[in-house]
Amino acid sequence: IKKKLHLNQLSDVVFQLDLEGGLKYTLFHEIPSHKVISGNSMVALKSYVNVLNKYFPFRKEGMKFISKVYEEIYKKDDIGGSDFEALVSHYEKKYHSVFLYPQGWLGCRGSQPHYRGFPCSLWLIFHTLTVQAELHKNKYHDSDPKEVLHAMLGYVKHFFGCTDCSQHFQQMADSIDQDVHSLEGSILWLWKAHNKVNRRLQKDKTEDPKHPKVQFPTPSTCSNCSINGEFNDKNVLNFLRAMFHNISYLHLAAN
C-alpha cells in the first residue's frame, strides 16, 4: 500500500475505512451505552448528528442513512440508548452498503491491539469535519464557524468513553469562543489543540512505540509547514485542507 501511495507513513493518509470505523463505534457503541439520552446530552447528540449529516464524507447510501437518523432524532426530546441503537441499525439495513466492508483499522492501526484505533479515528473524524465545513461554506453560508468544534466538545463531554481525555479537552475548549472567528480558524484551533495533546502524551504509556507522538506535521510530512522551526499557519492550513479532503478509499488490505 505504501508503495502505491508513494508514502513513508500510512498514518499521514486519511482512510475512509478509519473514519467509518470510528463513526460506527460512536453510533453503535458509545452513544447506545447511555441508558437515556436527554437534556444536554440530547442537545450534544443532535449537534453531532447534524455535523455528520452536513459534512461527513459519506458515499450516496451513507448520506441517506445519516439524513434519516438526523430527521428521526431531531424531533425527539430524549431517546433511550437501546432505541438509538435500534434506529441506526434499522437504517443501516434499509440502505445497503452504508459502510465499507471488510472493516478494520488501517491508518489508525496500532503496532499492538491496545494502541491507537478508536481515539485516533475520533481525531480524524473531527479534523475531517472542520475541513469539510470550510469546503461546503457556500452551501451552508449561514453556519456558525464554531459549529463543528462545539459538536466535538458536546460529543467528547457527553459520550467519549475516555473520561480523562474528556476533561482535558473540555479545559482546552474554554478558549474556542474567544479564539475562533472563522472556518479556517476552526481548522487551525483543532490542529493546535491536537498538538498540545500530542506534547502532553509524549513518552506516556499509551504512546505506541511505533507511532511516537510528534508535533504534526513533521518536516518530512510537510516541508513548508515549518520555517526555522516555527509552524507557518498558512502553509499548515493548506496542508490540512489537502490531507482531510483527499480521503483514501484504499481499504481491502485492512484485514
- For ligand FAD, give the closer residue by CB, 98 or 148: 148
What are the backbone angles phi and psi of residue 227, rounded to the nearest 5°? -125, 125
- For ligand FAD, give the closer residue by CB, 95 or 123: 123
Tell me the per-residue interface mask from 51 to 90 with ligand FAD, x by CB under 6 A, - otherwise: ----------------------------------------
What are the backbone angles phi and psi of residue 96, rounded to the nearest 5°? -70, 155
Pick the stretch among 37-45, 70-78, 177-185, 202-210 that binds ligand FAD (CB under 6 A).
Answer: 202-210
Q: Which residues contact 111 (CB under 8 A, 6 or more apart)?
A: 208, 209, 210, 211
Tell me the per-residue interface mask from 155 to 174 with ligand FAD, x by CB under 6 A, - otherwise: -x-----x-xx--xx-----
Q: Which residues contact 250 (CB under 8 A, 6 or more apart)?
A: 1, 4, 5, 15, 106
Angle, in degrees to the nearest 10, between helices 39-55 and 147-158? 130
- For ligand FAD, give the closer residue by CB, 12 or 233: 12
User: 154, 50 in Cβ contact below 8 A?
Assistant: no
The number of angstroms, rounded, from the C-alpha of 83 to the middle of its chain's C-alpha atoms is 24
Pick the stretch among 52-60, 77-85, 176-184, 203-211 that binds ligand FAD (CB under 6 A).
Answer: 203-211
Contacts with ligand FAD by CB under 6 A lie at: 11-12, 108, 116, 119-120, 122-124, 127, 156, 162, 164-165, 168-169, 191, 194-195, 197-198, 201, 204, 206, 208, 211, 216
